[in-house]
Structure 1
Amino acid sequence: MVEPTVTLNQGTLRGSTATDLRGNPFLKFQGIPYAKPPLGELRFKAPVAPEPWTGVFDATKEGEVCYHRDPLKRGAISGGENCLFLNVFTKKLPADQNKALRPVMFWIHGGALIFGSGNGDMYGPEFLMTEDIVLVTINYRLGILGFVSFEDPSLEIPGNAGFKDQVMALQWVQTNISKFGGDPNNVTIFGESAGGISVHLLVLSPMAKGLFHKAIAQSGCALNPGVEASTGCTVLATTMGLDGADEKTIYNTLMGKQVEEIFEIQEKMLKDVVPCQRRPLGCVVEKNSPNPFLDDEPRTIMKTGRFNKVPFMLGFTTGEGMLFDLFGGGVSDCESVIPWYFGYEHGQPDTKIVGEQIKRFYFGDEDLSPTTKAQKYDMLSDAHFIYGMYVTILTQYSKSDAPTYLYRMSVESELNILKKVLKIEVPGVCHIDDIGYLFKTFITPEIKSGTIEETSVNRFVKLWTNFAKFGNPTPNKKDSLLTTVWKPVTNENLDFLDIGRLLVARRNPYADRMKFWKNLFALSPGGQKKSK
């Protein structure tokens, strides 16, 4: 087969071909630069538009990923600084760019903003390409490289560079995706974990306005406790042994280091971060930036309705908290799971009292032990993921004319990748396990005809691509695969779809648990402050 080529303003690309889950062909264009390499004076700064190339660009292989350590691959370190690449997958190139353009699905990978990439080892396109869409997957800068911030305006590093990379990639899509058969007026952003957080932040970002038309946030939102970071670089300075130094000195010191040295500083800095502290790296509000990614607190933006009002899907797995087994268990006491925005200080008497309340609610008279793993997972799920999503849905749905959909994933099969790796035997669906139903991963087993694995993949792909096509995941009531109508949220009795071995319409997920956290926040220093 002749290798496919596409000519953009940047130059001509040569791609390759592959086959989807059902054996049908599609085209791949990989490792496309969507920004200028963020090297030298561009390190830490907002991305700059890419430069053109001469000749034919080889888009048959993936680009370099951002330097990181991957806990899913036994802590292997890979990548570099020149990592701003994306991949495009399409069934066919258009004969006429003004006709029959297809919906675009733009994937943002997870990894706590410190690891991962958009490449095919974790996000193979073979499942989604069974539907008539154009798929884009991206890399963005991670850790210190993507999320350091300085308050000194002369340095021009207010933060959020990794999120601005995502915006730059979306701008690239607007300019170029029609050449691949994609519709720039029908772009759905979707992502999981830190990718889901990124999706929600893009919904809240004035910088991203008009660059997408639908959004799916999987297992992550802007109100999760690991999102917002402290501004400036106080923690970074302490880690580097530069307490009291001005920001220019800290910046110049960083600029003199190799990427490997910066990564060592990052790992040391993040080692002892707990949930009731703001992260030193993450999303920051840019108060004095002329073109901010985020101009106010996420909760305030939602309450005032100043967000991008597009059809929005948000959801979680039944056992999100199982993720923390990947990092050694994630909790030594119940006090340590209190989100920072509740306003408590770790180790103080009032914090210990709240920790005891949490312990009684989830464990009763029992202690954290191997026999109370299920309760521990519920507690971690709620504190780190589900409560933030609950507040997001309640705060946001009534402020938008576009529909809001909520789901819970409960299906368990051989495709639940992380739970399988962690060898967890407690019932529930681990964080990340939804990935295995949308993408082919490096540990995906053979999917056999007629199995729950095949049925579930087909359902997930259909629900997600229906949403991308129509803004409604179940538009056809006669679809034999999707036998249940997924209702949008229209009031505080939260309608949601339980995606298990069957599709079941339900209301008010984990109502008692959400009421507990709602009341806990209302009585907290942070809740009292927000209510004024």
Structure 2
Amino acid sequence: MTDLIVPTAQGKLKGKVFGKVYEKPFLGFLGIPYAKAPVGDLRFKPPQDPEPWVGIKNCTKEGTPCPSKHLSFKFYIGNEDNCLNLNVFTRQTKNVTTPKPVLFFIHGGAFILGNNRTEVYGPDFLMAEEIVVVVINYRLGVLGFLAIEDDSYGIPGNAGLKDQVMALKWVQRNILNFGGDPNNVTIVGQSAGSIACHFLMLSPLAKGLFHRAILASGVALNTWATGGTYNLHKLGYLLGYMEQDDKSIFEKLKKEPLKNIVAAQYEYKDDCLLDKIRPFVPIVEKPSKDAFISDLPINIIKSGNYNKVPFMIGYTTNEGMLFELLRMIMTWNKIPKSLDNEIPHDVPHNGDVEKINTIKEKVKNYYFKGNEVGKKTYSDILNMKSDSAFRYHIQKAIKLHQETNDKPMYFYKFSHEGPFNYTKKLVAVTSRILLYILLALAFMTKLIPPINNFFHFLIQKLPMRENLKGTSHCDDVGYLWKYRIHPKIRPGSPEDFYVRRMVKLWTNFVKYENPTPEVDNEHFEGVLWKPISKTDLPCLNIDETLEMVKNPDKERYQFWDSIYSL
């Protein structure tokens, strides 16, 4: 097929027929380098333009992930030599009369985990629509977010976010050759990817590189979104260095094996707890023409000086279930027995013990109704974390944007509980042993596909905890992206309907700037999704049916607003 050979600014590349959706084939171009390999003197530094090649580059196999650890089993993965790569999926590349809208996806993983591989981000569901899909890697953890105060090192921080800007520039230069429209690009992210999208909205470096945004379960105001400090000495400490000056630490760091650097950041346990100050995440840089952001996100939003684009934003009903999954995977992470370490680090108190005690007492009364914090009230702990680590700041961002953004904004709440709520199903198993059995089976499906059937049999039959209510963080992802562990979906089944409905909502926004551009009884039961106004906060509740509700979780938002205002 001539469609499989595509010219780019760096040279020609070859893709493959990746799959079929409803009997229509689509193409995949995998592991395309969008920046120069960040190795040697470029490690930790902002990305550089990709190098050209001679001949035709084979882009039929997935690229290397950026160095990190496997979420479930903690072994080292990735390679920095060619990790700044992206995947492009499209229906056709030749004879495209009208270029297609582009969905540009940024993966989650708390800025320390994740990649663009199709075992999680299979494009099959999305490719049912006439769009082009781009899924990127970016540098994670220390490699993406080392920040040194001395300007002479050229490492001011945010290299991982600048990778995303470089990938967007690659799209602007090349996506037309894949049938995509460079003037119609929607950035989409979930969790840390959503936070990254919000940062891109706030960054002058991303101006003009995208035209819409979809933010799922994260904003730049979240407690775990910014580190706020220079972190070279923190890394030196974690690596066991005795040196105290920047030059000595950095000279040793340049010679340090990559696996040791990646392992060191995991020695800092709080980096995996999303309500603590985290050292290897985005930072506010010193003002300069090359700074990604040079002011606090809240100040940028209030100023109105940012990339104002239409956006969709939302969360799940019980985001805090993620903390239970992290607790089960990280054996050192225990169920809290008090609120001593549970108050978000950005609640202002200036170390005033009396004020801290007042805050803890108010939070305890609100969520625990006088009961003790611990195993018996663990569902209340997760409920509290849903608000403090996710929902409050998401709603805070919405309210701030109401004041300064004149573009259409759409708010949603994902409430649907179904067979593809994989995070909740993993969280709900009754023991760590059963969890690891399921994780091992999910991992093995790559090697032995028939194991997938056994995985789904077990996940339906294993005993599950019944006190976990709502939908977990990441439970919406399985209705947009085809995981390797997804079962075959029978056309006309309820699962087929729910996937098609989610895909329609998201891709309608990508195409038309409106998730329900017209009454659609087939997919949306005639519901029209109303945008946010200056004074009104309508929200689409996505459950078995769709329903417009007004100002959801208002009381919880007001409670945390009162805490932050004490």
* TM-score above 0.5: yes
- 1:526 aligns to what? none
Give the structure-2-normalised TM-score: 0.88
Between the aligned partners of 1:460 and 1:6, the Cα distance in structure 2 is: 31
Question: Secondary structure at the residue paired with 2:54?
Answer: coil
The change in CA–CA distance for 1:43 and 1:392 in structure 2 (over 3 A counts) is same
Aligned mate of 2:563, from 516, 520, 523:
520
Question: Secondary structure at the residue paired with 2:523?
Answer: coil
- 1:282 aligns to what? 281
- 1:327 aligns to what? 326
Q: Aligned letter for 2:491?
A: S
RMSD, matched Cα: 1.9
Q: Aligned letter for 2:342?
A: V
For residues 271-306 of structure 1, the C-alpha deviation after alignment (integer angstroms, 9 at most, x for no partner) is 577666421111111114331111210000000101
User: Is contact 1:229–1:284 with CA below 8 Å preserved after alignment?
Assistant: yes
Between the aligned partners of 1:270 and 1:81, the Cα distance in structure 2 is: 24
Between the aligned partners of 2:360 and 2:120, the Cα distance in structure 1 is: 37
- 2:173 aligns to what? 175
User: Is contact 1:325–1:422 with CA below 8 Å preserved after alignment?
Assistant: yes
Q: 5+ unaligned residues in a row in structure 2: which ranges?
A: 429-464
Question: 1:376: how far off?
Answer: 2.0
Q: Aligned letter for 1:211?
A: L
The change in CA–CA distance for 1:79 and 1:89 in structure 2 (over 3 A counts) is same
User: Is contact 2:99–2:176 with CA below 8 Å preserved after alignment?
Assistant: yes
- 1:264-343 correspondence to structure 2 within 5 Å: 264-271=263-270, 277-328=276-327, 332=336, 333-343=338-348
Q: Aligned letter for 1:399?
A: T
Question: Secondary structure at the residue paired with 2:500?
Answer: helix
Question: 1:265: how far off?
Answer: 1.3
**How many residue pairs align between the two structures?**
520
Question: Secondary structure at the residue paired with 1:341?
Answer: coil
Question: 1:514: how far off?
Answer: 0.8
Question: 1:86: how far off?
Answer: 0.2
**More moved, 264-273 vs 354-363:** 264-273
Aligned mate of 1:156, from 148, 154, 157:
154
User: Is contact 1:103–1:134 with CA below 8 Å preserved after alignment?
Assistant: yes
For residues 37-73 of structure 1, the C-alpha deviation after alignment (integer angstroms, 9 at most, x for no partner) is 00000000000000110111000011100111122x4
Question: 1:356: how far off?
Answer: 2.2
Aligned: 1:383 with 2:388: yes
- 2:499 aligns to what? 457
User: Is contact 1:286–1:296 with CA below 8 Å preserved after alignment?
Assistant: yes
Q: Aligned letter for 2:176?
A: S
User: Is contact 2:236–2:249 with CA below 8 Å preserved after alignment?
Assistant: yes
Q: Aligned letter for 1:78?
A: I
Between the aligned partners of 1:3 and 1:310, the Cα distance in structure 2 is: 33
Between the aligned partners of 1:374 and 1:513, the Cα distance in structure 2 is: 16
Q: Aligned letter for 2:530?
A: K
Question: Secondary structure at the residue paired with 2:496?
Answer: helix
- 2:61 aligns to what? 61
The change in CA–CA distance for 1:406 and 1:243 in structure 2 (over 3 A counts) is farther
Q: Aligned letter for 1:296?
A: D
The change in CA–CA distance for 1:20 and 1:522 in structure 2 (over 3 A counts) is farther
Aligned mate of 2:117, from 112, 116, 119:
119
Percent identity over the alignment is 43
Question: Secondary structure at the residue paired with 1:191?
Answer: strand
Q: Aligned letter for 1:471?
A: E
Question: Secondary structure at the residue paired with 1:136?
Answer: strand
Question: 1:186: how far off?
Answer: 0.2
Between the aligned partners of 1:350 and 1:147, the Cα distance in structure 2 is: 33
Question: 1:242: how far off?
Answer: 4.4
Between the aligned partners of 1:390 and 1:81, the Cα distance in structure 2 is: 37
- 2:472 aligns to what? 430
- 2:18 aligns to what? 18
Question: Secondary structure at the residue paired with 2:563?
Answer: helix
- 1:470 aligns to what? 512
Question: Secondary structure at the residue paired with 1:100?
Answer: coil
- 1:132 aligns to what? 130
Between the aligned partners of 1:244 and 1:54, the Cα distance in structure 2 is: 45
Aligned mate of 1:103, from 101, 104, 122:
101
Between the aligned partners of 2:188 and 2:2, the Cα distance in structure 1 is: 32
Aligned mate of 1:487, from 530, 533, 542:
530
User: Is contact 1:412–1:428 with CA below 8 Å preserved after alignment?
Assistant: yes
Aligned mate of 1:498, from 541, 552, 557:
541
Between the aligned partners of 2:287 and 2:523, the Cα distance in structure 1 is: 51
Q: Aligned letter for 1:392?
A: A
For residues 82-137 of structure 1, the C-alpha deviation after alignment (integer angstroms, 9 at most, x for no partner) is 210000000011325xx300000000000000010011011000000000000000
- 1:215 aligns to what? 213
Q: 5+ unaligned residues in a row in structure 1: which ranges?
A: 524-532
- 1:229 aligns to what? 227
**More moved, 352-361 vs 370-379:** 370-379
For residues 188-233 of structure 1, the C-alpha deviation after alignment (integer angstroms, 9 at most, x for no partner) is 0001000000000000111000000000010010010001113212
Between the aligned partners of 2:356 and 2:492, the Cα distance in structure 1 is: 52
- 2:27 aligns to what? 27
User: Is contact 1:104–1:186 with CA below 8 Å preserved after alignment?
Assistant: yes
User: Is contact 1:335–1:356 with CA below 8 Å preserved after alignment?
Assistant: no
Between the aligned partners of 1:293 and 1:140, the Cα distance in structure 2 is: 15
Q: Aligned letter for 1:285?
A: V
User: Is contact 1:104–1:136 with CA below 8 Å preserved after alignment?
Assistant: yes
Question: 1:370: how far off?
Answer: 4.0
Between the aligned partners of 2:230 and 2:101, the Cα distance in structure 1 is: 40
Q: Aligned letter for 1:501?
A: E
Q: Aligned letter for 1:517?
A: W
The change in CA–CA distance for 1:183 and 1:106 in structure 2 (over 3 A counts) is same
Question: 1:151: how far off?
Answer: 0.4
Between the aligned partners of 1:126 and 1:228, the Cα distance in structure 2 is: 33
The change in CA–CA distance for 1:337 and 1:450 in structure 2 (over 3 A counts) is farther
Q: Aligned letter for 1:159?
A: G
User: Is contact 1:415–1:445 with CA below 8 Å preserved after alignment?
Assistant: no
Between the aligned partners of 2:312 and 2:520, the Cα distance in structure 1 is: 22
The change in CA–CA distance for 1:240 and 1:419 in structure 2 (over 3 A counts) is same
Aligned: 1:420 with 2:425: yes
User: Is contact 2:275–2:389 with CA below 8 Å preserved after alignment?
Assistant: no
User: Is contact 2:225–2:282 with CA below 8 Å preserved after alignment?
Assistant: yes
The change in CA–CA distance for 1:508 and 1:47 in structure 2 (over 3 A counts) is same
Between the aligned partners of 1:241 and 1:210, the Cα distance in structure 2 is: 44
User: Is contact 1:276–1:336 with CA below 8 Å preserved after alignment?
Assistant: no
Question: Secondary structure at the residue paired with 1:480?
Answer: helix
Question: Secondary structure at the residue paired with 2:268?
Answer: helix
Q: Aligned letter for 1:10?
A: Q
Between the aligned partners of 1:453 and 1:369, the Cα distance in structure 2 is: 37
User: Is contact 2:325–2:426 with CA below 8 Å preserved after alignment?
Assistant: no
Q: Aligned letter for 2:290?
A: N
User: Is contact 2:32–2:86 with CA below 8 Å preserved after alignment?
Assistant: yes
Between the aligned partners of 1:122 and 1:433, the Cα distance in structure 2 is: 13
The change in CA–CA distance for 1:164 and 1:347 in structure 2 (over 3 A counts) is same
Question: Secondary structure at the residue paired with 2:133?
Answer: strand
For residues 233-285 of structure 1, the C-alpha deviation after alignment (integer angstroms, 9 at most, x for no partner) is 24223323447722222222211111101012111134577666421111111
For residues 474-522 of structure 1, the C-alpha deviation after alignment (integer angstroms, 9 at most, x for no partner) is 0011452122111111034411100111010001111111110001101
Between the aligned partners of 1:465 and 1:18, the Cα distance in structure 2 is: 20
Give the structure-1-normalised TM-score: 0.94
